[in-house]
Structure 1
Amino acid sequence: MTSAASAPRRARVRAPELIGEGGWLNTGGKDLTLADLRGRIVILDFWTFCCINCLHVLDELRELEEKHRDTVVIIGVHSPKFVHEAEHAAVVDAVERYEVHHPVLDDPKLATWKQYAVRAWPTLVVIDPEGYIVAQHAGEGHAHALARLVAELEAEHEAKGTLRRGDGPYVAPEAVATDLRFPGKALLLPSGNFLVSDSTRHQLVELAADAESVVRRIGSGERGFGPDAFSEPQGLALLPDGSVVVADTVNHALRRFDPATGSVETVAGTGRQWWQGSPTSGPALEVDLSSPWDVAWWQGKVWIAMAGVHQLWTWDPQTRTVEVAAGTTNEGLVDGPAAEAWFAQPSGLAATEDRLWVADPETSALRYLEAAPDGEGYLVTSAVGTGLFDFGHRDGDAGQALLQHPLGVTALPDGSVAVCDTYNHALRRFDPATGQVTTLATDLREPSDAVLAGNDIVVVESARHRLTRLRLPEEAVRVDAVAHRTQRAATEVAAGTLRLDVVFQAPSGQKLDTRYGPSTRLLVSSTPPELLLGGEGAGTDLFRELALNPELTEGVLHVSAMAASCDDDPDNEYPACHVHQQDWGVPVSVTASGATRLPLVLAGMDG
C-alpha cells in the first residue's frame, strides 16, 4: 500500500484565475477567463515545448479532445523552462509546430504555474463545470483515467443542470504557405540533392542541390502510420545500400525510404509508445519505441536517439533486431559506462570513425560515446554541459562554455563538430584538440540540424522554414557571454530528515494490482550527489525518508516514480492495466525554516 493510496477526500478548492503576461493564442484575439468556461469541463495542460513528455501528453489528449469537443475545453498553459521558451514568438511557433488545436495561455513568468502549485512538466489539472479543481496528474499515461473522469463529470453535471454543451473557444490561426514547415533534419543524398524531414507537414521533401527547389514530396501530408504517411518525422540517416532510415518520431517507429523507387516500409517499432516494463530488445517490428528523434549509421548499425526515454538504442538491419545501447531511462547528466549513463532527451547524432556525438538538449550538453579502453562496451563522456538547469551562450574552455537546448550535431572534416545551438539561434563549434567552444554563426532561427556540402555547411533553420547555406568561416564570430539558470523557484526544505511523498490515487474503477508483486517504483538521486546523505536509490514504496546534508545550501532532487493501475473487476481474469510515470527535477534550497515534507502529485490531490 502506498503512502497516499487512500487519501481522504479534501474540501472543494475553487480554481484560481488564469493569468499570463504573454496573452492568449488560438482564441481569435480574445482573452479567456474561468467565468467564460463555466459549464464546461476544463483540463489545464501545463507544458513547455522543449519537453518530450509534454509532447507525448499533447498526443495523448488528441482523441479525448476530439471525442468530447462539445463538453471539454483543454487549455494549454505554456510555462517555460528555457529563456528562449519565454519569447512569445517562440510559443506561437511551437503551437503551430505541434498542431495544438486548443487555446493556449502564454505564461512566461510562471504566474499561473505558481497559482496552481505545479512542480513538474507536464501536469494536468481538471476543473469541473462549477469551477472547482477535481483532479491533478503529473507526467504521462493518464489518458484512460481522464477519459473515465470526463464521462463521470458529464453524467454528474448533466443531471445537475450545470453542464453546458456547445462549441469551444478554439479559433484556428490562418495557415501560412511555405515550401517547408518547421523542418527537422536534413541529409545530403548521393545525387547532390537534399532530403529534409518536413516535420509539421508529416512528409519528407527532396530539394535540388540549391537547397531551395522542391523536387518531390514523400508522404500524403496527413498525420498517419502507413506506406504513404508519417507523423512528425525527424532524423534521417543514409544506409550503405543507398536507402534512408527515417526516425518517424510520433509514430514511435523507424521507416526505410528508397530514393530510387519512392517506397516506404516500417523496419522497427509497432506504432505504440514504449512504457516501463516493456521489452528493450528483440525483433525490431515487435518492440515498442519512444519518440526516436535522430538516427546515425555507426559501426555497422543504426544508432537511435530515443528522446522519449532518455536512451540510445540500436537497430541492426542484418538481424532485424533492436536493443538498448546506452542510458537507464533516468533523465540527467551522468557519464561513465553506457549502461549506467543518464541522458536528457538525446535529439541529435553524428558519427565519426571512433566517436558517436550526441546533442543532449535538456542538459544543454554535447556528449559522445567511444569504445571503453578494455574493449568491453562503450563509455559516455560530456564535452560541454553541466546539468538540467544551467544553460546560456558562452564560448571558451569547454568546462565553462554554455549551450541552450542544442538539437543537432555535425562532424566537420578537421575532427571538430558543429553544434546546432537551437535556443541560442546559433551554430557553435567544439574542437576536441583544443577543448575550446566557439561561435560560427548567429541570427539563425531555431537551427535543428546541419549537413556538409562541399566547403559549405547547410543549416536547417526550423523556425524560418528553410535551409540556409553558410561558408564555414576560418575564425569564429565573437559574442557576449550570457549564463542562465531555469527560472523555477527553489523549494525551501529543512536540513536533516525530509519526508518525500509521491501522491498516487488509482483512477476511478481501477486499483493497484499486486498479484505479481509491487506495481509501483520510486528512484531518488541528487545533484550534487553529496546533497543526499541517505534515501537515494530505488524502491517500491512511493514514500521515502531522505537525509539532507546540512553543509550544502542548494541542489536538485531527482525523483522518478511509476505506478501501474488495473481495472478493478474481480470477474475479469485479464484486466486492462495502465502505466503512470513522471520524472521530477526539484531545485531545493536548504533553510532553517524550510519544509520537512515534499509532496509530489503523480495522480490525485495532495491533502
Structure 2
Amino acid sequence: MTSAPSTQRIRASELVGETWFNIGDKDLSLKDLRGKIVILDFWAFCCVNCLHVLDELRPLEEQYSDVLVTVGVHSPKFEYEAETSAVAAAIECYDIAHPVINDPELITWQAYTARAWPTLVVVDPEGYIVAHLTGEGHVSGLYSLVDQLVEEHEAKGTLHRGEGPYVAPEPVARDLKFPAKAIALGSRGSQESTFLVADTGHHRLVEVADDLETVIQTIGGNGSGNAISAETGQAEPDSISVRGYADGGREIALFNEPHGLALLPADVAAQAGYDVLIADAVNHRLRAVNLTTGGVSTVAGNGIQRLIDSERVQDETGQSDVVDLGPFAAGALETSLSTPWDVQYSEAEGVAIIAMAGTHQLFSYDPVTKDLAVYAGTALEGLVDGPADEAWFAQSSGLSVDAEGTLWVADAETSAVRYVVPSTKTDSKEPEVGTVIGTGLFDFGFRDGTPDDARLQHPLGVTNLPDGSVLIADTYNHAIRRWAPDTVNPDGTTKAAEVTTVARDIQEPSDILVETDADGHAVSIVVVETNAHQLIRINVPEKFLHVDEGAKQAQRPATKLVVGDVPINISFAAPKGQKLDDRWGDPTQLTISSTPEHLLLEGEGRDTGLTRQLRLNPDVTEGVLHVTARAAACDGEHGQPIPDSAACHLYQQDWGIPVTLHADAFDGAHTTLDLDLRGIH
C-alpha cells in the first residue's frame, strides 16, 4: 500500500539560481539558515496548486516565525515565467513574505529531484532533508512535523530562535493593483458607461468611469485609497490591502483576491436580489453584490478549499471517482469550492458557470434556485474533449458566452481555447466539450496560422466578437489574439479558420471586453492589463498581425527509463495523528496514462494501490507519463478504529513526467520510477 520511508540521512543541496528576492541586497545560502527549520517550496506562479500552498503556509510561517524559514524556489514551467521581472511581479501580486530564489535553469529543482508543482522539502536545523512532499494539503502534517523538529533540536542545542532573513520590499501606491477581470455595467452602474473591476491586489471591487481611470466607488477592502506620507512622500503600507472575509455594506465587506465578475440579466437579478456575482478566489467562495446598496453577500462556498472532489471520497463501494453532475446534496453554502477564477452567466443553460480552477472543473450555480452542481470536468488535469462528465480541463481561468449560447473557456495550463456546447443544443441533452487551439499540458508558444498549428502561452481571458470570432487574452505572450472560424467569402469560396494577433506588448492581459457601435459592429476593446495595474482601450484593427515565434514545450529534464517492465512506486506516509482510512477497503488509488498512448503497453488505467507494473514500448523513444495518485487518511491513532467524528483528508497529486526510453540501464536509465506523494526521510 505504501513504500517504506528511507532511513538514510541526506544532506540538503545548496540553493542555486539566478536572482534572490525579499532578502535585501545580498544572497542566501543553506549555511546561513543553519539552526532553522527550512521549508523549500518549489513553485511556479502559473500553477494554481502552488498558489494554494502559499496560502496554506501563511499561518504556519506566522506561528513558527522564530524557528521556521520558508524559501520559495521558483521553478518555471513557461518561458515567460523564467524572467526576473515576471517573478518579481508575482511575488508582489501574491504578497509572498519569505525569501524567493528564481531557478530558471531548474538546477535546484533537479538537485532535490522535484518532478511536480508544487513540491515541499523540509530541511532540519542541521541541514538534512527530513520530508519530501508533493502536491498541496500537507499543512496539517507540517504542524506536527515542525513541533517534532523543534522538540528534537532544542534538546540537542541545534535550534536557533530569532528573526529570519526576510526583508520586506518598499510599498508602492496605486489606484489599482494587479486587476484581474472587469465587466461593463451600462445603466446598472452608478453612472452611464462605467466598468466594475476586480482590483485583486487590493482585495476589493472598483467602479471606474468610461475613461477607465476615474474611480467612482469602491466596494470592500476596508479602505478608500493608498496613503502617502507627508514627511517622506513615500507610500505608506497599503491602507486598502486588507484581505479577509466579511459580508455586509461596501465599507464592511472583505474579499481575498477577487477575480471573475458576472453581470446577471435584469430579470434574474430582480429575483436573486443582487446584480453581480464575484469569484472570490482565495476565500473559495462565490460572492454577490447589489449595485444599488453596495451590499455584499455569500451565495456559495463554505470557505474550506475543495481538494479534488472531496464530496465523493470513498463511498461504501470503494469508488471515489464517479462524477455526478447533479446538485450537491449539502447545499451551495455548505459545499467546498476551490479557487473560483471566473464566472459567466449562460442564458442558454439558465445558470452561472464558474471556472473552478483549483479542481480543473466548471461548476454551475442558479441564482434563483440556489442549486450548485458540477457542470463539466472530472477533476483530472489535462486536455480531453467529449461529454461534459468525461472531459478534462487544466486550470480554466476565463469564460465567455457567444450569441449562440456556446461557452468559451481559456484553459490556462494547456494554453488552450476550449468550448462547451450547451445541453440545449446537443443530441444527448448534455454539454459537449471541444477544443479549437491547444494540444496539451506542456505545449505552448507564440504562433499564428491554422488552429492546429497555432500556439498560445497561458491565456487567462476570452471574449466573443459579433462576427463569430473569439478574442483571447494571451497572458504570458503579452498579446491579444483572435481565432476566426471557417467563413464563406462573397464569391462562395471558403476562408479557412485562422489564428492572428490583434495587439502586442501588453503587460499580462487577463481579460477583454468588446465595445460595439449602434449597428453592433466591434469598434474597440477594453483590456485588463494586469501587470501595468490598469485598464486600456484599443481600437480593433482592420488587418491583423501574423506572428510566428515558434511552438515550444515546457523544458523540464526528462526522466530516463529502461524499456520493458518498470515498476512505479508512490511513497505515502500519513502525518502524525492520522492513519489511512481503510474502512471501505484500500484508500489509495493510482491513475496512469501516457502521451503518446502507445508509450504504455501495460499498466494504464485506474486502480487501487500506490504501486503498479508498467511495460514501456521499445518502439517509442520519448513521451510523457501522466500519473495521478490519491490517498485518504483520517485523524486517529494506529491500531485504533477511526471515530465517526474524525476529520478526514484527501491527498492527491498529478504528475506529467517527460521520459526518454533506453534499451538498458548502462547510460543512467532507471529501472523503477519512484515518486513521493508524502515521503518522510
TM range (shorter): over 0.9
Conservation of the 8 A alpha-carbon contact between 1:296 and 1:350: yes
Conservation of the 8 A alpha-carbon contact between 2:449 and 2:546: no
Conservation of the 8 A alpha-carbon contact between 1:188 and 1:453: no
In the other structure, the counterpart of 1:235 is: 260
Q: Could you tell me how far apart the structure 1 residues matched to 2:674 and 2:300 are?
A: 39
Q: Could you tell me how far apart the structure 2 residues matched to 1:41 and 1:310 are?
A: 33
How much has 1:117 moved relative to structure 2? 0.9
How much has 1:571 moved relative to structure 2? 7.6
Q: Which amino acid aligns with 1:534?
A: E
Aligned pair 1:253/2:324, yes or no? no
Aligned 1:287-366 pairs, distance under 5 A: 287-298=335-346, 299=348, 300-352=350-402, 353-366=404-417
How much has 1:18 moved relative to structure 2? 0.5
In structure 1, list runs of 5 or more residues that go unmatched. none
In the other structure, the counterpart of 2:7 is: 10
Q: Could you tell me how far apart the structure 1 residues matched to 2:447 and 2:412 are?
A: 16
How much has 1:260 moved relative to structure 2? 1.2
CA deviations over 1:393-430 (Å, ceiling 9, x no partner) = 00000011000000000111111010000000000000
Q: Which amino acid aligns with 1:595?
A: H
Conservation of the 8 A alpha-carbon contact between 2:566 and 2:673: yes
How much has 1:319 moved relative to structure 2? 1.5
How much has 1:375 moved relative to structure 2? 4.1
Q: Look up the SS of the partner of 1:288 in the other structure.
A: coil
How much has 1:526 moved relative to structure 2? 1.3
Q: 1:8 to 1:79 in 2, by over 3 A?
A: closer
Q: Could you tell me how far apart the structure 2 residues matched to 1:130 and 1:346 are?
A: 42
Aligned 1:424-503 pairs, distance under 5 A: 424-433=477-486, 434-454=496-516, 455-503=523-571
In the other structure, the counterpart of 1:575 is: 646
Of 299, 302, 311 in structure 2, the residue corresponding to residue 278 of structure 1 is: 311
CA deviations over 1:134-160 (Å, ceiling 9, x no partner) = 001000110010010000100111111
How much has 1:67 moved relative to structure 2? 0.4
Aligned 1:176-191 pairs, distance under 5 A: 176-190=172-186, 191=192
Conservation of the 8 A alpha-carbon contact between 2:176 and 2:534: yes
How much has 1:518 moved relative to structure 2? 2.2
CA RMSD of superposed structures (Å): 1.4
Q: Which amino acid aligns with 1:290?
A: S
Moved more, 81-90 or 589-598: 589-598
Q: Which amino acid aligns with 1:235?
A: G
How much has 1:43 moved relative to structure 2? 0.3
CA deviations over 1:521-567 (Å, ceiling 9, x no partner) = 21111122222222111111001111222222111111111112223
Conservation of the 8 A alpha-carbon contact between 1:40 and 1:129: yes
How does the TM-score come out when normalised to structure 2? Answer: 0.87
Q: Could you tell me how far apart the structure 1 residues matched to 2:614 and 2:246 are?
A: 49
Q: How many residues align?
A: 602
In the other structure, the counterpart of 2:590 is: 522
Q: Could you tell me how far apart the structure 2 residues matched to 1:3 and 1:564 are?
A: 12
Q: Could you tell me how far apart the structure 1 residues matched to 2:11 and 2:670 are?
A: 25
Aligned pair 1:85/2:81, yes or no? yes
Q: Which amino acid aligns with 2:374?
A: V
Q: Which amino acid aligns with 2:401?
A: A
In the other structure, the counterpart of 2:210 is: 209
Q: Could you tell me how far apart the structure 1 residues matched to 2:51 and 2:649 are?
A: 19
Conservation of the 8 A alpha-carbon contact between 2:618 and 2:663: no
How many percent of aligned residue pairs carry the same amino acid? Answer: 56
Q: Look up the SS of the partner of 1:362 in the other structure.
A: helix
CA deviations over 1:245-281 (Å, ceiling 9, x no partner) = 0000111111111111101100111111112332673
Aligned pair 1:592/2:663, yes or no? yes
Q: Look up the SS of the partner of 1:397 in the other structure.
A: coil
How much has 1:59 moved relative to structure 2? 0.8
Conservation of the 8 A alpha-carbon contact between 2:284 and 2:302: yes
Q: Could you tell me how far apart the structure 2 residues matched to 1:315 and 1:289 are?
A: 12
CA deviations over 1:357-404 (Å, ceiling 9, x no partner) = 000010000010114641420211110000011100000000110000
Q: Which amino acid aligns with 1:451?
A: L
Q: Could you tell me how far apart the structure 2 residues matched to 1:256 and 1:509 are?
A: 39
Moved more, 532-541 or 409-418: 532-541
Q: Look up the SS of the partner of 1:18 in the other structure.
A: coil
Conservation of the 8 A alpha-carbon contact between 2:414 and 2:439: yes
Of 592, 598, 602 in structure 1, the residue corresponding to residue 677 of structure 2 is: 602
Aligned pair 1:367/2:418, yes or no? yes
